[in-house]
Structure 1
Amino acid sequence: MPSVIGIQFRNSNFIYYFTYGKHVLEIGDHCVVKTSLGLDIGKVATPVLFLEPEELKEPLKRIVRKATKADIDKWMQIQADEQEAHDVCQENINKYQLDMHLIHSKYLFDKSRLIFYFYADNRVDFRELVKDLALQLKTKIELKQVGVRDKAKMVGGLGICGRPLCCTCFLNEFKPVPINVAKMQSVALNLSKISGTCGRLKCCLNFEAQFYAEELKKYPKLNSHIKNNEGKDGKVVEVNILSRYMIIETLEKEDNEHIKNRVKIPIDEWEKSYTQIRKRETQNAESKATPERDS
């Protein structure tokens, strides 16, 4: 059973897991780790965990060593250099009047490469920009264009719930959020209320989608016709999952006029009534199918 440890990086609330090895580390310690980009420094955020092999989605990177004072000093200097590089890049973007929003600048720990993350609505020709940056900053330059959801993840912020954005804390991948998920939860389709800071539908709409899908199986479909306890036909006009009731609309004749009445039916009452109705229908069907015996 492999041992892993959670590492948190600068400007991110997300926790990444690395193989622990034989290092002696405590929560709050800084360590040098191997990432997909190269070496970086992170802070220990969890105790040692033991996971089953099937729990690991992909081969984990390793912890290289516990960060020394020299590593920390170098890391602090890199942060200052990143800010200077960010300012230089922004000046050049303005110089070439490029329609792009610079989000973040990151040096690899060995400073062999400098990565600029940016957002743009359209494709951007930044070849001249890269040439100038390479000459001015004396290192290999890489520009990465990200989408609006990745932009929100990198910038961070608070959601309408008052908590840090889910994508900055624990969402490692973005899944599609179809509009029917909001409809299924009877959420008012006001885009300003159901959209996140990225302008896309909130990821949290997916969190309870399975619960609503399972609960809706207990109810008749919206706009379908059913019989109430009195045997009258009615149309389902509202379903409330959280309060566990539905409202049906019946059409009754009174003084030669048709009057619409709305009746609130708790789901428990409906399930009991529906079971009885189905039982009666089954009994009637069986009695019709059974031939009478001659006396």
Structure 2
Amino acid sequence: MFVLPVRFERSPRLHPMLSESPHPVGTRVVVQGKRGPEIATVRGEASEPERQARYGAVLRAATPEDLATWEDLHRRAEDLKWLLRARARERGLPVKLVAVEFTLDESLVTISYSADERIELSSLIGELRAHTRARVNFAAIGPREQAQMLGTLGACGRENCSSTHLQDFAPVSIRMARDQQLPLNPEKLSGPCGRLLCCLQYEHEQYLDLLRDLPRKNAKMCHEGSGACGKVTKLHPLAGTVDLQTDQGLLQDVPASELRRLPEQAAARSPRREPREAPASTD
């Protein structure tokens, strides 16, 4: 047995599947996933299975009949998506229907949607009964999953990371933007999904390493070269410099390696330790 990484249509995430033969990269295969049989594409080389790992299964290489059925189901799903959107608007349902997907055997139809609050969509099932006998599964998704499924362009001009290569949504915090000395502008720090940019995490560890060699913001420092003293107002981690607002009101861009703390600041950071008391006698 072999393990093949496969990718489904609406997500870049790779799913390991057991296969009896090592299909070449790019081969479209029929797999048995959690929802049922679906079409996926092989995106990596075959490897050996690991013990105690759970895998789906590659049933076979997709035949022309499989691909024709899949294309027909895809067209029907798109028609149903627009029909359900119209019916949701007529009923005043505050919901966005993102995608409709059939399994290859049409035993299950999954309707992915996003909504700001909990909402009941069972009234739409009757609309589906006239077009399919498949079981209906409503799946609520978040803003990042929505951007992943729909695909969009990021501020960099390229397709968003969640649609191209991200395998998981790692936690992203505003602290990452502060550590990278970025302006805290919500419009520039948010992606198309309205959440913090996933790419803020990519270089965060490197910035933390660079910040260890820089003084803290608002620290009182003196420049060895000019002898000027003042307050650090801004850090430039990549350049290894800081902006020093001198006591005379001048703003200087100076290397962090040429700065020294004021004597009182150094004493405050390294308080003198009191001598330990001798342990009490146990006699």
Alignment TM class, shorter chain as reference = 0.7 to 0.9
Do the aligned partners of 1:15 and 1:45 also contact (CA within 8 Å) in 2? no
How far has the Cα of 1:139 moved from its partner?
2.1
Query: What corresponds to 2:241 in structure 1?
Result: 245
Partners in 2 of 1:242 and 1:197 — Cα distance? 27
How far has the Cα of 1:43 moved from its partner?
1.7
- 1:249 aligns to what SS in structure 2? strand
Instruction: Write the letter of the residue equivalent to 1:23.
Output: S
Partners in 1 of 2:4 and 2:250 — Cα distance? 61
Do the aligned partners of 2:5 and 2:17 also contact (CA within 8 Å) in 1? no
Q: 1:262 aligns with which of 240, 251, 261?
A: 251
Q: 1:199 aligns with which of 165, 190, 194?
A: 194
CA change 1:19–1:240 in 2 (3 A) is same
Instruction: Write the letter of the residue equivalent to 1:38.
Output: G
How far has the Cα of 1:15 moved from its partner?
4.3
Query: What corresponds to 1:4 in structure 2?
Result: 3
Partners in 1 of 2:158 and 2:47 — Cα distance? 27
Partners in 2 of 1:162 and 1:112 — Cα distance? 39
Partners in 1 of 2:48 and 2:231 — Cα distance? 55
- In the alignment, does 2:126 pair up with 1:127? no
Q: 1:150 aligns with which of 141, 145, 150?
A: 145
Larger radius of gyration: 1
- In the alignment, does 2:218 pair up with 1:223? yes
Structure 1 residue runs of 5 or longer lacking an equivalent are 252-258, 282-295
More helix by share: 1
Q: Deviations over 1:216-259 (max 9, x none)?
A: 111110001123216654211121011221122221xxxxxxx3
Instruction: Write the letter of the residue equivalent to 1:200.
Output: R
How far has the Cα of 1:62 moved from its partner?
2.2
Structure 2 length normalisation: TM-score?
0.83
Query: What corresponds to 1:97 in structure 2?
Result: 92
Query: What corresponds to 1:116 in structure 2?
Result: 111
Do the aligned partners of 1:5 and 1:49 also contact (CA within 8 Å) in 2? yes
Q: Deviations over 1:77-135 (max 9, x none)?
A: 21122123223322321332211111100001111111111111122222222244235
Instruction: Write the letter of the residue equivalent to 2:43.
Output: A
Instruction: Write the letter of the residue equivalent to 2:7.
Output: Q
Partners in 2 of 1:73 and 1:160 — Cα distance? 37
How far has the Cα of 1:203 moved from its partner?
0.9
Do the aligned partners of 1:134 and 1:141 also contact (CA within 8 Å) in 2? no
Partners in 2 of 1:41 and 1:6 — Cα distance? 13
Partners in 1 of 2:255 and 2:228 — Cα distance? 17
Structure 1 length normalisation: TM-score?
0.79
CA change 1:3–1:220 in 2 (3 A) is farther
Query: What corresponds to 2:76 in structure 1?
Result: 81
Partners in 2 of 1:41 and 1:224 — Cα distance? 59
- 1:62 aligns to what SS in structure 2? strand
Do the aligned partners of 1:245 and 1:265 also contact (CA within 8 Å) in 2? yes
Do the aligned partners of 2:6 and 2:17 also contact (CA within 8 Å) in 1? no
Partners in 2 of 1:23 and 1:180 — Cα distance? 47
How far has the Cα of 1:3 moved from its partner?
4.7
Q: How many residues align?
A: 262
Query: What corresponds to 1:44 in structure 2?
Result: 42
Do the aligned partners of 1:20 and 1:48 also contact (CA within 8 Å) in 2? no
Q: Deviations over 1:134-161 (max 9, x none)?
A: 3543221121121111111111111111
Query: What corresponds to 1:171 in structure 2?
Result: 166
- In the alignment, does 2:24 pair up with 1:26? yes
CA change 1:50–1:216 in 2 (3 A) is farther
Structure 2 residue runs of 5 or longer lacking an equivalent are 268-283
CA change 1:17–1:218 in 2 (3 A) is same
Instruction: Write the letter of the residue equivalent to 1:4.
Output: V
Q: Deviations over 1:150-188 (max 9, x none)?
A: 111111111111221111122232233221211111111
